[in-house]
């Protein structure tokens, strides 16, 4: 942290109503690459969450009353500041989350791109006029901000998951209370510091950080002044939060777990597929909801793909993300490493063949797992049936196009899927046959601000990013004007 150019980006307290709330109770923020304590952050709780909701409610009238253009100017200021401080923000992110510095800086640009994009899209919240069934009436539809938005976001994208939600909320005219993960609070607090410098008024963007996940979660999902709740995280936690929100019929959007298939057909460009699979699997040490979770390869090319993929993965450097040569950083915690290793070892016992890796990295402190490849996997093995959230690739081979679709869809999840093929008929049949919210076709990286991110089945509801993402923060109001004859 002493290498930050702007040391005032390092904040240690919740940001509520434009003020930093210090307190005696603290928790440690740990660097997962070294297990060292980076700093301590004030442990906020239920009282601070309630204060933040009140601040957001109080700020709502003035913020929603601004023109979309006025809000866009402030959002654009925020975007500019995030990009000006990309190096420092990237360093903070690497230190608390672990991903390599280049990837962390990429996340800052990715997060900021949502703010830039929604600043503009907020100007295009169009309504509608509808021909009325009788001549003395007119039907008009307007869209209005839902109100106070509360969010809970995970540690794997400490900047971008907040930005993706807050950008749409603020552009739509809503105010925002976010509870980031306690493993990675510093990126969120730096965003709050820059939101303030950008001129975003007190109460519009609030960050509450505390270890009482249940207590804070209850306020955010049940408070009568919260109109909408949005969550990114595991399917199990998402289900609990939906149930909590049901008591006051909150509008919810959920970006939950995934079990992404990555399908390689016989006619695929194998080198391109290898490159796509490496990026889609090993980005963020395999800790993203859209990471490839299962690689399905058609029999004729299975050997060639496995050999080329194994050779490419064997070259990836694992280590501290501050080291320029590193491609795979640490996992978030020691227990995360243990969980992944258990999936690997149980699957080997069930008949999978270890092609690469398959163990913790023992030579350094921190929470590192060797990039791992298993072949001869079947879809019922633990490594294929569960969301791995680590740097492990299970390879399943299949015979026909329909087999691939069946195996790919044989999961409760439906977030992202990928496939590589050249035949145009295969491309359309498979794209339409996959039960997923997002499909990468000859492409392993699909996330961007202009596209609708979200899943089907137990991977969630609602979309983030894109013109569809704004709708999640807007209510439709129907105006019926009568007595016109």
Q: Where does this chain bind ligand SIN (CB under 6 A)?
A: 156-157, 232, 255, 288-290, 447
The yes-or-no answer on residue 480 being catalytic is no
Question: CA 81, CA 112: separation in Å to the nearest integer?
Answer: 9
Contact 277, 393 (CB under 8 A): yes
Q: 74-86: b or e for each residue (b if 16 or more CB lie within 10 Å)?
A: bbebbbebbeebb
| Residue among 190 and 449 whose Cβ is closer to ligand SIN | 449
Phi, psi of 294, rounded to the nearest 5 degrees? -140, 130
Distance in Å, CB of 251 to ligand SIN, minimum: 20
| Residue among 43 and 232 whose Cβ is closer to ligand SIN | 232
| Residue among 103 and 471 whose Cβ is closer to ligand SIN | 103
Query: From start to end of 339-401, where are the E strands?
Result: 353-356, 372-375, 392-398
Measured CA distances, 320 to 297, 323, 326 (Å): 32, 6, 7
Phi, psi of 284, rounded to the nearest 5 degrees? 55, 35
Helix ranges restricted to H, 354-438: 382-385, 401-409, 424-433
Helix ranges restricted to H, 315-441: 334-349, 382-385, 401-409, 424-433
Contact 411, 456 (CB under 8 A): no
Active-site pick, 48, 121, 289, 355: 289
Distance in Å, CB of 322 to ligand SIN, minimum: 22
Distance in Å, CB of 356 to ligand SIN, minimum: 24
Distance in Å, CB of 413 to ligand SIN, minimum: 12
Within 8 A by CB and 6+ apart from 102, the residues are 324
Q: What is the DSSP letter of 17?
A: T
Longest dimension (CA), the chain: 84
Residue with tokens 């050997």: 303
Active-site pick, 96, 121, 255, 387: 255
Question: CA 87, CA 360: separation in Å to the nearest integer?
Answer: 30
Beta bridge partners of 419: 263, 441
Distance in Å, CB of 230 to ligand SIN, minimum: 12
| Residue among 232 and 466 whose Cβ is closer to ligand SIN | 232
The yes-or-no answer on residue 355 being catalytic is no
Residue with tokens 């519009």: 204
Beta bridge partners of 26: 42
Rounded to the nearest 10°, the torsion over CA 86, 87, 92, 94 is 100
Distance in Å, CB of 152 to ligand SIN, minimum: 13
| Residue among 290 and 404 whose Cβ is closer to ligand SIN | 290
- Rg of the chain over CA atoms, in angstroms? 23
| Residue among 148 and 160 whose Cβ is closer to ligand SIN | 160
How many CB atoms are closer than 10 A to CB 447?
Answer: 18
How many CB atoms are closer than 10 A to CB 7?
Answer: 10
Distance in Å, CB of 55 to ligand SIN, minimum: 27
Question: CA 429, CA 424: separation in Å to the nearest integer?
Answer: 9
Contact 70, 200 (CB under 8 A): no
3-class secondary structure, 57: helix
- Give me the half-sphere count of Cα atoms (radius 13 Å) on the Cβ side of residue 276: 25
| Residue among 153 and 397 whose Cβ is closer to ligand SIN | 153
Distance in Å, CB of 250 to ligand SIN, minimum: 21
Distance in Å, CB of 157 to ligand SIN, minimum: 5
| Residue among 196 and 255 whose Cβ is closer to ligand SIN | 255
| Residue among 81 and 289 whose Cβ is closer to ligand SIN | 289
Active-site amino acid positions:
255, 289
């Amino acid at each position: 942290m002493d290498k930050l150019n702007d040391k005032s980006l390092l904040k240690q307290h919740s940001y509520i109503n434009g003020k930093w709330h210090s307190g005696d109770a603290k928790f440690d923020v740990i660097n997962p690459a070294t297990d060292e304590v980076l700093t301590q952050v004030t442990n906020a709780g239920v009282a601070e969450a309630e204060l933040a909701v009140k601040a957001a409610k109080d700020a709502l009238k003035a913020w929603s009353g601004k023109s979309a253009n006025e809000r866009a100017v402030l959002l654009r200021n925020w975007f500019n500041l995030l990009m000006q401080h990309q190096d420092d923000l990237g360093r903070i992110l690497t230190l608390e989350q672990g991903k390599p510095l280049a990837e962390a800086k990429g996340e800052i640009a990715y997060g900021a791109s949502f703010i830039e994009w929604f600043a503009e899209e907020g100007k295009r919240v169009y309504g509608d006029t509808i021909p009325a069934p009788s001549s003395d009436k007119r039907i008009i539809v307007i869209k209005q901000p839902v109100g106070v938005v509360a969010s809970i976001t995970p540690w794997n994208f400490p900047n971008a998951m907040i930005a993706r939600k807050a950008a749409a909320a603020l552009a739509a005219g809503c105010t925002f209370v976010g509870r980031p993960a306690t493993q990675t609070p510093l990126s969120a607090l730096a965003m709050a510091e820059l939101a303030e410098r950008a001129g975003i008024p007190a109460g519009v963007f609030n960050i509450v950080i505390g270890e009482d996940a249940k207590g804070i979660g209850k306020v955010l999902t049940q408070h009568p002044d919260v109109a909408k709740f949005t969550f990114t995280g595991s399917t199990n936690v998402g289900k609990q939060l939906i149930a909590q929100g049901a008591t006051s019929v909150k509008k919810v959007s959920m970006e939950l777990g995934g079990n992404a298939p990555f399908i390689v057909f016989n006619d695929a460009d194998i080198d391109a597929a290898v490159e796509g699979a490496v990026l889609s699997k090993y980005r963020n040490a395999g800790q993203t909801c859209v990471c490839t979770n299962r690689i399905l390869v058609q029999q004729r090319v299975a050997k060639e793909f496995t050999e080329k993929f194994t050779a490419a993965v064997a070259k990836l450097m694992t280590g501290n993300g501050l080291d320029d040569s590193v491609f795979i950083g640490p996992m978030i915690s020691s227990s995360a490493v243990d969980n992944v290793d258990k999936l690997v070892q149980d699957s080997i016992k069930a008949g999978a063949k270890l092609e690469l890796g398959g163990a913790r990295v023992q030579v350094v402190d921190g929470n590192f797992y060797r990039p791992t490849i298993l072949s001869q996997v079947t879809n019922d093995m633990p490594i294929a049936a569960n969301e791995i959230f680590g740097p492990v690739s299970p390879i399943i081979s299949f015979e026909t196009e329909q087999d691939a679709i069946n195996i790919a869809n044989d999961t409760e999840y439906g977030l992202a899927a990928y496939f590589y093929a050249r035949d145009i008929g295969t491309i359309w049949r498979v794209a339409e046959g996959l039960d997923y919210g997002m499909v990468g076709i000859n492409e392993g990286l699909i996330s961007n601000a202009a596209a609708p991110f979200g899943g089907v089945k137990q991977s969630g509801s609602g979309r983030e990013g894109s013109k569809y993402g704004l709708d999640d923060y807007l209510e439709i109001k129907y105006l019926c004007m009568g007595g016109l004859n």
